[in-house]
């Protein structure tokens, strides 16, 4: 994983969320990517906390964007792994949040895992 790519990805990902631009957000992901989050389990009553594919995750994120119209993220740091990065940011209600992104050969996200401070 190249640190320049990781930093650019993180900044563009944050900017896309802050713009509430769902198409731009989803452009970072493979069509069949997998998203895991404790919020998925809560909001959608999905016991696995996991959704697969742009259609399902996009519908979930569209609902989240409509539910939180003043959503704004603040990038704190970017951690680089082998084929993954972790973005630490302030999320909803300035809650410390982290997302771990695993990338495929196309440099698009194949799996993402959200984590939130207690």
Neighbours of 2 (CB within 10 A): 10
Q: Can you give the pLDDT at residue 35?
A: 98
Residue 51 near residue 35, CB atoms below 8 Å: yes
* Percentage, residues of the chain above pLDDT 70: 100
- Residue range 64-117, pLDDT digits in tens: 999 999 999 999 999 999 999 999 999 988 899 999 999 999 999 999 999 999
CA distance 74 to 103: 22
**What value does the mean pLDDT take over residues 34-40?**
95
Cα 41 to chain center, whole Å? 15
Question: Is 90 exceeded by the pLDDT of residue 48?
Answer: yes
Helix/strand/coil for 10: helix
pTM listed for this prediction: 0.94
Q: How many residues does the chain have?
A: 118
């Amino acid at each position: 994983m190249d640190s320049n790519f990781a930093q650019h990805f993180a900044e563009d990902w944050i900017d896309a969320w802050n713009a509430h631009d769902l198409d731009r957000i989803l452009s970072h992901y493979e069509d069949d990517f997998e998203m895991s989050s404790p919020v998925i389990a809560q909001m959608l009553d999905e016991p696995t906390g996991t959704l697969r594919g742009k259609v399902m995750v996009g519908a979930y994120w569209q609902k989240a964007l409509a539910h939180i119209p003043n959503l704004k993220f603040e990038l704190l740091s970017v951690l680089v792994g082998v084929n993954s990065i972790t973005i630490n940011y302030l999320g909803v209600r300035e809650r410390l949040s982290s997302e771990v992104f695993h990338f495929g050969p196309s440099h698009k996200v194949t799996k993402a895992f959200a984590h939130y401070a207690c």
